[in-house]
Structure 1
């Protein structure tokens, strides 16, 4: 090909600089290949996970319970398409062994004389949402999973088979060193499923959830305001504002959090209450272990109805009804000798155990908010085995030794597969 022909080809291919035209030759001009056509798999992604679980739970004064449940979630995600994405996901739980109490009237099985294991049979749409993202901003609407900070106030209760979700619209901004979000929800779909009665099925009302955090010279700082008017279970409605800070101290990290809460329903009782949480964690990378000790404090009236409560105050869930607020009477008093909670705890984690296991051991000592009466203490242990990136096994055991409350024993083992 001579130079004139080369220049003609170059012009057809697109604009070149004068220097490129001047030096154009047969070795310099390569016609680019046509871009590959997008396949349907570039836009759509299947979502699937399944968990098979056996759980034993015994509480003094009740018959023990045994459950074998299988939970599956399956759906389809539209990946980023010019800023748009979407998800449709169904969730189903079946009881292969139903010798237990699901803990909510209407849900199956419901055997009030047995200890509660809150994994009822259920079939429902778990998540259905659409999202648009542009630069640092995103807006998302529909039934969605929402988790904030450490899930002490807003979470999805991921430990249970049926997930907690929010029918909500969310506006968020996320930059490298700061983020802020606002959520409005009118319904929270609880873990007891669509067949449960009343407030066990869902919380209805107006939920305004505001969160922000940023990196500062003293570590990560966050603040939140959760304003919840719950129409169908008025005793759990509340307005909560708080802040937290995580920063380096010596060779570890110190976490500090404080919150103030008042009643959130105009037709409910009036109260104000406080919350505090402090813990220090030391990680030893060379020996693959970490130590943590702390105190979580809730005054008597303080409640966290939308939290992932199982992650706090021991795996035996001895205080789950108190923390959610279901032990409150309509006048604000408590129905089961609950006088607030002071949870002193120590936690130890060890990675790299034989057979690739990760081990965890926790100890709790529980007092009232005035520190003058003991509820009891608890020991927890967990072993986790990750077989590959999709397949994980777990064994978890907990025992609550009650002083003013009944003893509780719990053992859980499960296998989960995520695609």
Structure 2
């Protein structure tokens, strides 16, 4: 038999053997897996100019889990958290009954933080189960990772990249595991349930035109049944539909962001919502130092109840100052004018920010705030980082807010 006669046979054998050569062993799920181990100690001090006693909280958050490898695009993750108090309970963690102290919202307890299955394919991925969801800059949907008990979501999330530079994201959520978990008791209230029930849909479309321009459009339908904007508000008053458009990018040493969103009521919300959100931000980087200034507005509404623009699923600690005075937007809305700097220093990172807060409706001034932080890796121990952080808020409207000082010392180890 000549070589020409054998050539078709060789081609057939190669075609048959290609899938076999690419066959994957299910043992890859474990052999390529990764252990998750994280421990975070934190001391938090809160001093407010009101009748509450100063809070002093020492807590330890430990996290263990396992991230599998991939087998034909399939993978899984399981992760458990425990938050434990160290020393005296001289703070109100929202579940311990220490109502005479200021709040440090880190309840004790253990919980499955994430438990999910994931499928990756050429054009995207699909995730089912309890998972972390952080969209864009987390202004509307995030994990609140600053608190010891992270916020995670039960549901389904899919991402599709039908063409280059375009990412389409959809998520369906039927339960939200909040920072106030793992469980409720007689000391919780309608503003801080351990689990937020309801049916929510998140749609996000992002197109990267160039490094100078990324455009994101979003539609967030939040069906939040068992939570209220305040203890005096009806349940369901945070259910909303938010539609927005964001543009951000970098131009040489400059960076910018501009955003607009409109919020209306959704599902069974008994309130008639209609408010707006605006953001304009400009940054400049010089020799590794980032200077940034911005102006953010969450609109108010002078109708019955608090119908201002709210962001109940946001990582709120990252916005409007670290003292967390405005976790709920006041009824008259809020205008936040801020400037700050982030700079490398002695092998670590220094941050300093100044905020000036005013009412969006009317001419009232709420107050101002200064925030400082410094984080540094601990020499000789890979994965160990120390952080010192301080926030001081000075009130101009004692009927709404009070002077607040907060201080944190933190040590975190990540394997």
CA contact (8 A) 2:171 2:203 kept: yes
Q: Could you give the per-residue CA deviations for residues 98-148 of structure 1, whole angstroms, max 9, x where no partner exists? A: 4343442xx2x3311211111111111110000111112211100000000
Unaligned runs of 5+ in 1: 1-6, 17-34, 324-333
Distance in 2 between the 1:158 and 1:55 partners?
Answer: 16
Q: Which residue of 1 aligns with 2:215?
A: 221
TM-score by length of 2: 0.84
CA contact (8 A) 2:239 2:268 kept: no
Q: Could you give the per-residue CA deviations for residues 263-316 of structure 1, whole angstroms, max 9, x where no partner exists? A: 1133511120000111101011xx221100001100121000000000000000
Three-state SS of the structure 2 residue aligned to 1:200 is coil
Given the alignment of the two structures, is residue 309 of structure 1 paired with residue 316 of structure 2, yes or no?
yes
Q: Which residue of 1 aligns with 2:78?
A: 88
Instruction: Give 1:37 shift.
Output: 12
Runs of 4+ in 1 over 6 A off after TM superposition: 35-40
Q: Which residue of 2 aligns with 1:347?
A: 340
**1:302-381 map, 5 Å:** 302-320=309-327, 322-323=328-329, 338-351=331-344, 353-354=345-346, 356-370=347-361, 372-381=363-372
Q: Which residue of 1 aligns with 2:298?
A: 298
The 1:314–1:260 alpha-carbon spacing in structure 2 relative to 1, beyond 3 Å, is: same
CA contact (8 A) 1:245 1:255 kept: yes
Q: Which residue of 2 aligns with 1:151?
A: 138
Q: Which residue of 2 aligns with 1:397?
A: 390
Given the alignment of the two structures, is residue 416 of structure 1 paired with residue 403 of structure 2, yes or no?
no
Distance in 1 between the 2:41 and 2:365 partners?
Answer: 36
Q: Could you give the per-residue CA deviations for residues 219-273 of structure 1, whole angstroms, max 9, x where no partner exists? A: 1000110001212120111100101001345740120011000011335111200
Q: Which residue of 1 aligns with 2:278?
A: 276
Distance in 2 between the 1:374 and 1:231 partners?
Answer: 33
Given the alignment of the two structures, is residue 138 of structure 1 paired with residue 125 of structure 2, yes or no?
yes
Of residues 48, 59, 78 in structure 2, which corresponds to 1:59? Answer: 48
Distance in 1 between the 2:315 and 2:367 partners?
Answer: 22
Return 109-118 or 60-69, whichever deviates more.
109-118
Say how many residue pairs are matched: 369
Three-state SS of the structure 1 residue aligned to 2:237 is helix
Distance in 2 between the 1:258 and 1:389 partners?
Answer: 42
CA contact (8 A) 1:66 1:97 kept: no
Distance in 1 between the 2:126 and 2:26 partners?
Answer: 29
Distance in 1 between the 2:123 and 2:337 partners?
Answer: 40
CA contact (8 A) 1:102 1:192 kept: no
TM-score by length of 1: 0.83
Instruction: Give 1:389 shift.
Output: 4.9
* Structure with larger Rg: 1
Q: Which residue of 2 aligns with 1:3?
A: none
In angstroms, what is the RMSD of aligned CA positions? 2.3
Instruction: Give 1:344 shift.
Output: 0.3
Distance in 2 between the 1:279 and 1:168 partners?
Answer: 33
Distance in 2 between the 1:114 and 1:278 partners?
Answer: 37
